[in-house]
Amino acid sequence: MMQLSRRNMMLGTGATALLAACGNPIGGQGADILDARVDTARDFLRNTYPSLNELFQNARGILYIPVITEAGLFVGGSYGRGALRIDDITVDYYSATRASVGFQLGAQQYAHALFFMTEQALQDFRMSEGWAASADLRYATPSQGGSMGAETTTQFAPVIAVVFGQSGMLAGASLAGVRYARIIP
């Protein structure tokens, strides 16, 4: 196991900053551009995975992060920005960040959406200083023929994550340990 040192922490912080600067530019990305990207991600999900219609109908709110850029060489990080929508209207903007240490090599981009299925889960998310994805998060994952599976047991979870649009060469895309924070674009 790799020992966490000041040097590795600096490398992880540097990797996250580099991802923010290159993969998802912070400067010059206003609300209009972010909303357009969210619209594209939402439309892609609705058109590509019609099996998610029940989630769309029953969700109290949906956080769309249209592009997460992740890279790692033993120390890694990821960063993305998106919008929380209630009744398909943007109410807040959020960033998603994560730093990691361990055996990893490569880079990838992906998108994800968090479906808040209960009013309490949505309220907890909105009222927190920095909400972290946890073990309570349930995934709806791609299954045969490009359909997205959201089993009945999953639909009763307070928060359901859908990870989609993966490209790159880094194994897996997990949201464990991702921290979401409100931002002003």
Task: Indicate the average pLDDT of the chain.
Answer: 77
Domain assignment present for 41: yes
Query: What is the number of other CB atoms lying within 10 angstroms of the CB of residue 102?
Result: 10
pLDDT score for 12 = 54
pLDDT beyond 60 at 21: no
pLDDT beyond 60 at 61: yes
Q: Which residue has the higher pLDDT, 19 or 116?
A: 116
pLDDT score for 183 = 94
Q: What integer is the mean pLDDT of 36-44?
A: 96
Question: Which residues, in sequence order, are bridge partners of residue 164?
Answer: 111
Q: Compute the distance between CA of residue 127 and CA of residue 102 in angstroms, rounded to an integer.
A: 32
Domain assignment present for 99: yes
Give the global pTM: 0.74
pLDDT beyond 60 at 158: yes
Q: What integer is the mean pLDDT of 56-81?
A: 91
Give the domain range for residue 179. Answer: 6-183
Domain assignment present for 1: no
pLDDT score for 18 = 47
Domain assignment present for 26: yes
| Amino acid letter for position 126 | R
pLDDT beyond 50 at 146: no
pLDDT score for 44 = 94
Query: What is the number of other CB atoms lying within 10 angstroms of the CB of residue 115?
Result: 26
Q: What integer is the mean pLDDT of 8-36?
A: 60
Domain assignment present for 133: yes
Q: What integer is the mean pLDDT of 119-145?
A: 72
Q: What is the Cα gyration radius of the chain?
A: 16
Phi, psi of 43 (to 5 degrees): -65, -40
CA 170 to chain centre: 16
Number of domains into which the chain is organized: 1
Give the percent of the chain with pLDDT over 70.
Answer: 66
Domain assignment present for 45: yes
Q: What integer is the mean pLDDT of 45-71?
A: 93
Domain assignment present for 128: yes
Domain assignment present for 17: yes
Q: Compute the distance between CA of residue 8 and CA of residue 14 in angstroms, rounded to an integer.
A: 10
Angle subtended at Cα 137 by Cα 95 and Cα 115, rounded to the nearest 5 degrees? 65
